[in-house]
Structure 1
Amino acid sequence: MTDYPEVVGLDLSLTSTGIAAWDARGDIRTHRIRSKGAKTDTWRQRRARINRLADQVTDSISFDAFVLVEAPAYGSSTGSVWDRAGLWWRVVDTLHDIGCTVLPIEPTVLKRFATGKGNADKDAVLAAVVRRYLDIEVTGNDVADAVALLDIGMHLIGRPLAELPALNRSVLEKLSVPTVEAA
Structure 2
Amino acid sequence: MPRLSIGIDQSYTGCAVVHYNAADGTATETIYDFSPSKAGVGPQRLAHVHNTLHEHFHMIRLLGTVTQVCYEGYAYGSKFRREELGELGGMMKLALVQVYPPHLLHAVAPTTVKKFVTGSGRADKDKMILAVYKRWQHESSSHDAADAYTLARIAEALAAPELPELGFQQEVLDTIRNPKPARSKKKA
TM tier, smaller = 0.7 to 0.9
SS at match of 2:149: helix
Cα drift, residue 71 of structure 1: 0.7
For the residue of structure 1 that corresponds to 2:114, the secondary structure is helix
Q: Residue 50 of structure 1 contacts residue 83 of structure 1 at CA under 8 Å; is this kept in 2?
A: no
Query: How many positions carry a matched residue from both structures?
Result: 169
Conservation of the 8 A alpha-carbon contact between 2:2 and 2:23: no
- Structure 2 distance, partners of 1:159, 1:98, is 24
Q: Which amino acid aligns with 2:47?
A: N
| SS of corresponding position for 1:97 | helix
8 Å Cα contact 1:9-1:68 kept in structure 2: yes
Q: Residue in 2 aligned with 1:29? A: 28
- 1:103 CA displacement: 0.6
Change (3 A) 1:158 1:144: same
CA distance change for structure 1 residues 159 and 4 in 2, over 3 Å: closer, same or farther? farther
Deviation of residue 48 (structure 1)? 1.4
Residue of structure 1 in register with 2:74 after alignment: 72
CA distance in 2 between partners of 1:177 and 1:107 (Å): 17
Instruction: Give the 3 Å change call, closer, same or farther, for CA 48–10 of structure 1 in structure 2.
Output: same
Give RMSD over aligned pairs.
2.9
Pick aligned residue for 1:126 from 112, 117, 129: 129
The aligned counterpart of 1:7 is 5
1:24-71 deviations in Å (ceiling 9; x for gaps): 754421121113326xx9xx7232123212322221123473211001
Aligned to 1:175, what secondary structure does the other structure show?
Answer: helix
Q: Report the equivalent of 1:59.
A: 55
Of 93, 109, 113 in structure 1, the residue corresponding to residue 112 of structure 2 is 109
* Letter in structure 2 aligned against 1:7: S
For 2:136, the aligned partner's letter is Y
CA distance in 1, matches of 2:114, 2:55: 27
- Distance in 2 between residues matched to 1:122 and 1:87, nearest whole Å: 22
Amino acid at match of 1:151: R
Runs of at least 5 residues in structure 1 that lack an aligned partner in the other structure:
179-183
Q: 1:115 offset after TM fit, Å? A: 1.0
Matched position secondary structure for 1:169: helix
Cα distance in 2 for residues equivalent to 1:169 and 1:102: 18
Write the letter of the residue equivalent to 2:175.
K
Residue in structure 1 matched with residue 176 of structure 2 by the alignment: 175
Q: In 2, Cα distance between the equivalents of 1:164 and 1:5?
A: 19
The 1:174–1:157 alpha-carbon spacing in structure 2 relative to 1, beyond 3 Å, is same
List runs of 5+ in structure 2 lacking aligned partners: 180-188
Whether the 8 Å contact between 1:51 and 1:87 is mirrored in structure 2 is: no
**What TM-score do you get using the length of structure 2 for normalisation?**
0.76
Alignment partners' CA distance in 2, 1:146 and 1:10:
5
Query: Greater helix percent: which structure?
Result: 2
Once the two structures are superposed, the pairs formed by residues 63-102 of structure 1 within 5 Å of their partners are 63=61, 65=66, 66-78=68-80, 80-100=81-101, 101-102=104-105
